[in-house]
Amino acid sequence: MENKFDAIILGAGPAGYECALYLGERGKSVCLVDKSEENIGGTCLNEGCIPVKSLVESAHLVQRMKEYKDVFNVDFRIEYSNAVKLLEDQKSQLRQGIISRLKRSKVNMIFGKGMLVTNNAVRVDGVDYFADSIVLATGSYPKSLSTLNIDENKIISSSGLLKLKNLPKDILVVGGGYVGCEFASLLNYFGSNVTIVEFLPKIMGVEDDEVSRTLLREFKKRNISVNTDSEIVNVQNKDEKILVNFKNRKSNLVKEALVDIILVSVGRGPNTKDLNLEAINAKTERDYIITENDFSINNSNVYAVGDIIKTPMLANVATREGIFVAKKILGETECVNYELLPRVVFTDPGVGCIGLTEEDLKSKGISYKTYRAFFKGNGKALIMGQNSGFFKVLTSEDEIILGAMFIGPMAYELVHIMAIAMQSKANVTELKNIIYAHPTLSEIIFSALV
């Protein structure tokens, strides 16, 4: 039967294509469905992780050149359009790499709009395809606010910002979470005047208070205006600009900002409304699909992974969930340990955290010890000209690591040292006994523990 497969996967983002590759490489017949070839790689490759981090890298290079301009007598001009061209080239290269891998693994790719028909059938643009297992991995979309209608012209989403060829002089970022802070940081380095409006009492709301305060301090040094405990109350066009009024929820003080563009960065929602979930009696909660512990829907042969279920909306999480399901289909075992999930933010200074925060430990009534060191005392950080921030590790009374946080240079890489330590249940003495290379950023771990 030409339209029959071992597995059909709807969605070619990290969860979907990694699931397809794992199955295809092990001899299973797989059909991977997505809207178009340009959508291969999903949000991560096309509108999220890769393009944003490409801009971050370009912005950091611009800033380093500014800092060393007088030292080396360097004269340069910022061409933002070149940074956009670079990220498009990088996206294309990575996408072609994924497509080549899928072809080598003999994964069938079908482009069109897919929906469920039964537990064993999906329909793509009017044609039915059948499989023993179906995996839903359709990703997410940028959320809006009732008070702000995203038109991708003056009021834009993160997707819209990545399509800009020229950056605005003045921009207001609604949302001071991970994504909002990353955009604020890179836009500031490219020369935009940035205002952040955050509803919660602090930016990076789920992270350690000390990390949040440090990032806030560094943002203020860079003249990024941060307004926490605040909400938008009015938006109106004024000539070619937008006049935005926002109110502090505690003091009721109303401020205004005259900007070229508003970037709405308030999270993402699951792409589940067009899947025809009723066909398999799938239950949802706020559009997220409810699954069993093995990601199956109602203990059936249909699975849901990635951004469409209520687990962290991260590409690395989606990848592991996709591989978990592929192994389940093959009768293999896998484990997804969300407790050891690194939380990274590519701001400057960067942020890398894992495990519990001090606020978590206090709320749970767990007694703990704190070890801390600052990057200003680290030789490599000083050489790099990036010695703001600190490293902090929280341990139990018997010195087993419960949580760790870096804010400073390469924090998003350093955090994996602590991930390995926590996975192996290492204690402070074992980390302290490692001889760290000198001069390196990693030495800050030793500095904190001695």
Instruction: Write out the DSSP string of 207-248.
Output: S-HHHHHHHHHHHHHTT-EEE-SEEEEEEEEETTEEEEEEEE
Verify whether residue 438 is a known catalytic residue: yes
DSSP 375-444: GGG-HHHHHHT----EEEEEE-TT-BEEEEEEEETTHHHHHHHHHHHHHTT-BHHHHHTS---SS-TTHH
Where would I find the H helices in 73-157?
80-104
Per the annotation, does 285 bind a ligand? Answer: no
- Taking 3-state DSSP, the helix, strand and coil percentages for the chain, each rounded to the nearest 5, stand at 35, 30, 35
pLDDT of residue 1: 55
Mean pLDDT of all residues in the chain? 96
Q: Which pair of structure tokens corresponds to residue 397?
A: 């009374």
d(CA 146, CA 127): 37
Task: Kindly report the pTM of this predicted structure.
Answer: 0.94
Instruction: Give the confidence band of 13 by pLDDT, cuts at 50, 70, 90.
Output: very high
CB-based contact 32:98 (threshold 8 Å): no
**What is the separation, in whole angstroms, between the first and last Cα of the chain?**
67
The pLDDT score that the predictor gives to residue 376 is 97
307 is in an annotated binding site: yes
* pLDDT, position 257: 97
Residue 140 pLDDT exceeds 70: yes
Is residue 175 part of an annotated ligand binding site?
yes
pLDDT band at 76 (very low <50, low <70, confident <90, very high): confident
Indicate if the pLDDT at residue 158 is higher than 60. yes
Q: Which of 75-79, 94-98, 318-322, 416-420 has the lowest mean pLDDT?
A: 75-79
For residue 193, the 8-state DSSP code is E
Whether domain 340-449 has CATH 3.40.50.1360:
no
Q: What tens digit of pLDDT does each residue of 222-248 get?
A: 999 999 999 999 999 999 999 999 999
The mean-pLDDT minimum among 121-125, 278-282, 314-318, 334-338 falls in 334-338
Task: Return the closest-CA partner of residue 339 out of 410, 399, 422, 416.
Answer: 422
Q: To which residue do tokens 């952040």 refer?
A: 196
- Return d(Cα 127, Cα 244) in angstroms, integer: 48
Q: How many residues does the chain have?
A: 450
379 known member of a binding site: no
182 annotated as a binding-site residue: yes
Domain 340-449 in the same topology as domain 4-141+269-336: no
- CA–CA dist 108, 139 (Å, integer): 20
Count of alpha carbons within 13 angstroms of residue 390, beta-carbon side: 18
User: Do the annotations mark residue 69 as ligand-binding?
Assistant: no
Topology given in CATH for the domain delimited by 4-141+269-336: FAD/NAD(P)-binding domain (3.50.50)
Integer Cα distance of 316 and 164 in angstroms: 27
Average pLDDT rounded to a whole number, residues 165-182: 95
As a whole number, mean pLDDT of residues 268-289 equals: 97
- Output DSSP code: residue 290: P
97 known ligand binder? no
Res 73: pLDDT: 85
Q: Which two tokens stand for residue 99?
A: 């497509």
Is 231 assigned to a binding site? no
The C-alpha atoms of residue 167 and residue 161 are separated, in whole angstroms, by 9
pLDDT tens-digit profile of 374-428?
999 999 999 999 999 999 999 999 999 999 999 999 999 999 999 999 999 999 9
Report pLDDT for 347: 97
> Which tokens belong to 37?
């070839």
Q: Is the pLDDT of residue 204 over 70?
A: yes
Share of the chain above pLDDT 90, in %: 93
What are the helix and strand counts (H, E) for the chain?
Answer: 14, 24
Q: Which of 263, 318, 276 is nearest to 142 (CA)?
A: 263
The token duo for 81 is: 């359009």
Residue type at 425 in one-letter notation? K
155-266 maps to which CATH number? Answer: 3.50.50.60
Contact (CB, 8 A) for 129 and 5? yes
Tens digits of residue pLDDT in 332-371: 988 899 999 999 999 999 999 999 999 999 999 999 999 9
Instruction: Round to whole Å and give the CA distance between 1 and 4.
Output: 6
Average confidence (pLDDT) over 26-37: 97
User: Does 126 show up as a binding residue in the annotation?
Assistant: no
Q: Where are the domains of the chain?
A: 4-141+269-336, 155-266, 340-449
- Yes or no: say if 291 and 271 are a contact pair by the CB < 8 Å rule: no
Q: Catalytic pick from 193, 413, 438, 443?
A: 438
Residues whose CB falls within 8 Å of the CB of residue 236, separated by 6 or more in sequence, listed in order: 242, 243
